[in-house]
Amino acid sequence: MKKLLLIHTGGTISMLENKETGEVNSTDEHPLSNEVKLIDTELNIDEHIEFSLPSPQITPKHMLKLANKVESVIPDYDGIVITHGTDTLEETAYFLDLVLTTEKPVIITGAMRSSNEIGSDALYNLLSSIRVATTSDAFSKGVLVVMNDEIHTAKNVTKTSTSNVATFQSPQYGPIGIITKDSVIFHHDILSRPSHPVRSINKHVFLLKAYAGMDEQIVEAIYQLKPDGIVIEGLGQGNLPKETLSIIKRFINEQIPVVLVSRCYQGIVQPTYGYDGGGKQLKEIGVIFTNGLTGPKARIKLLIALEKTKNIESLRKIFEEEK
């Protein structure tokens, strides 16, 4: 008999809709607990409530606490399923994927509609996640996000709609597997999954989005806050208005890492353009380019990497390790 641990952290999947007001809010007891006990007599499922938070309140420190919980209990289980709010689910999934060392399945799921709303996806996503967690094909694939009959990697998945139940997608890459009534089917594999265990998360990293007419003022304001690093969602293939160059050079000269991603939801940043503020010039002055990460995930990775090193060249290698 396989043994799973179900860890709850809050979010819509842990909430109920007030039928009079339409408000969705937390409850004293997880609304799916009774259903979980009836899922499969061939499974031994334990439950644990780690947090009861809407996901906008989840911080990297919560993510580290969750990671420590998983590492401490995983030897006693065949897999872990985590329920989580959808707003920051992708960040928690990627954080866990970077710091966990286990090869056992760790699945994260959530819901766009609470369990008592019409058309709720809560119980269905939970059942699907349990099915994925019990299949041998889910081993050695890192942290997986299971939603809406699809299996996504933590690195590539992102929330694409504010309310659609099919919100979680992996732009450019697609899901690595699907769930049918009969089977759990993986059609892609993971080429590499570097791991970076950390014992603390204490750095301050800011995330900025570039825009037409952007100048040094906003970056200068961040500089005054003495950050440990910044991530910028640049334009196109990784370009910035030339007015930002002087302050970015100051960051790098003071060994404060600047990581560049694109504000586009597909493609990767590349040192293609040679004009002032172009990607080629940015790379030459020491900006770190990512390999297709979104801004929020690049920030998570930089937070973790800074716990290991502050050297910009060492940080660059960590960001370039995944292809």
Write down the catalytic residue from 12, 102, 109, 153: 12
In the structure encoding, which two tokens stand for residue 231, read together? 């991530």
CA distance 210 to 245: 13
Sorted by sequence, the CB contacts under 8 Å of residue 39 that are 6+ apart come out as 45, 127, 130
Look up 272 and say whether it is catalytic: no
CA distance 99 to 154: 12
Gyration radius of the chain over CA positions: 21
Cα dihedral 123, 175, 86, 3 sign: positive
In the structure encoding, which two tokens stand for residue 145, read together? 């996000």
Q: Say if residues 106 and 96 touch (Cβ distance below 8 Å).
A: yes
Sorted by sequence, the CB contacts under 8 Å of residue 168 that are 6+ apart come out as 86, 89, 90, 145, 147, 148, 150, 152, 157, 158, 159, 160
Catalytic residues: 12
